[in-house]
Amino acid sequence: MRIDCQWVSTNLEAISCDSLGAEEARLVRDHIQDCAHCRSEIESLEAIDVVIKKYVRHQMAVAHSPGRPRVAWGYVGAAAAVAIALVMAVSLQLQPGPASLPPAPDQSVTAPAPAENPGLDKDSESTATLRAKPEEAGPAAGAASGGPAAAAAAAAAGPDASGAPEFVITDPAGYSRTLEDYKGYVLFFGVWQPTQPEAIANIERVYKTFGSNTRLRIVGISNQREANPANTTFPLFYNQGSRLLNAVPGEFVLLDQTGAVRLRGSLLTPPDNLMKVLRDALQPLAIQ
């Protein structure tokens, strides 16, 4: 059997309590004669053991002394248990711990800067504007989801009693537009709903007649997220909780290049009457 420093540290309690066998005790004595470290550990532990023994003897003497109230044996036993726990704690403290490791190198990674969005051609009706997608939260989220342009438009228009913005619409991809996005263009928008086939047909007729003019924008807007009506090609948008310049389903609004309203009317009128009125209003704006 070989006794080394690790073995001594592991068996300090048995060494202190004299519970080793004769051969083990002899080997320990031989080891500590040449090992100052282990000898110091054992001597420190034995010094603590002497204090504990004196404490326990004192408590026993107090418990048996005449003229004093008897001390409950449970109390003495508890005191002894505390003393033994102290010995064990010191024994564990004297055991060599694992070598400390050097601090890990800094492994933080700097996230790459996001790439800038390329510029988009605003003249293309199908081009998505550079704006965050709105939440699908309904009318209450309309003003916030339109991005900076929507906020500017809403601030310029001023809130009404409901607090809704003046004009915020969303394309099928989820990107918002406001009147600011149409500045410099003549804008015709019609508001439709599935129960108004006449309004849908008139918006399609206006788009097929004037849609090729690059200075005119024509959009159909529904107040709910609807599928594209059958046999239609006009650009489809959804109202994002805005007032739409107070237009209701079945009505249209025509705005000039500055965003001023030049004409509004019904989409439920006969097609010929609508086209004549619209041509007369577009002529001063150089739209044929």
Are 169 and 241 spatial neighbours (Cβ–Cβ below 8 Å)? Answer: no
Q: What is the rounded distance in angstroms from the CA atom of residue 15 to the CA atom of residue 33?
A: 15
Residues near 173 by beta carbon (within 8 Å), at least 6 away in sequence: 128, 133
Q: Backbone dihedral region of 286: left (phi > 0), alpha (psi from -120 to 50 degrees) or beta?
A: left
Are 42 and 8 spatial neighbours (Cβ–Cβ below 8 Å)? Answer: yes
pLDDT at 48: 66
At 136, is the pLDDT very low, low, confident or very high (cuts 50, 70, 90)? very low
Q: What is the rounded distance in angstroms from the CA atom of residue 44 to the CA atom of residue 22?
A: 22
Distances (CA, A) of 105 to 45, 100, 110, 217: 40, 15, 15, 59
> Quick one: 1 exposed, middle or buried, by C-beta within 10 A (0-12, 13-18, 19+)?
exposed
Q: List the strands of the sheet with 216-222, edge to edge.
A: 176-178, 168-170, 236-239, 216-222, 186-192, 251-255, 261-266
At 5, is the pLDDT very low, low, confident or very high (cuts 50, 70, 90)? confident
For residue 198 the two structure tokens come to 């006449």
What phi and psi, each to the nearest 5 degrees, are found at residue 140?
-65, -25
Q: pLDDT tens digits, residue range 11-39?
A: 777 777 777 788 888 887 888 778 888 88
Question: Which helix (H) or strand (E) element contains residue 254?
Answer: strand 251-255
Mean pLDDT of 49-53: 62
Quick one: which of 213, 285, 288 has its CA closest to 256?
285
Q: Backbone dihedral region of 147: left (phi > 0), alpha (psi from -120 to 50 degrees) or beta?
A: left
Q: Is the pTM of this model over 0.85?
A: no
Write the CATH number of the domain with boundaries 141-285: 3.40.30.10
Q: Which residue has the higher pLDDT, 82 or 227?
A: 227
Q: pLDDT tens digits, residue range 227-266?
A: 889 999 999 999 999 999 999 999 999 999 999 999 999 9
Q: pLDDT tens digits, residue range 202-212?
A: 999 999 999 99
The domain spans of the chain are 5-94, 141-285
Residues near 68 by beta carbon (within 8 Å), at least 6 away in sequence: 62
Q: How far is C-alpha 131 from the geometric centre of its chain's CA atoms?
A: 20
Distances (CA, A) of 15 to 10, 53, 97, 170: 10, 16, 20, 83
Q: What is the rounded distance in angstroms from the CA atom of residue 260 to the CA atom of residue 225?
A: 27
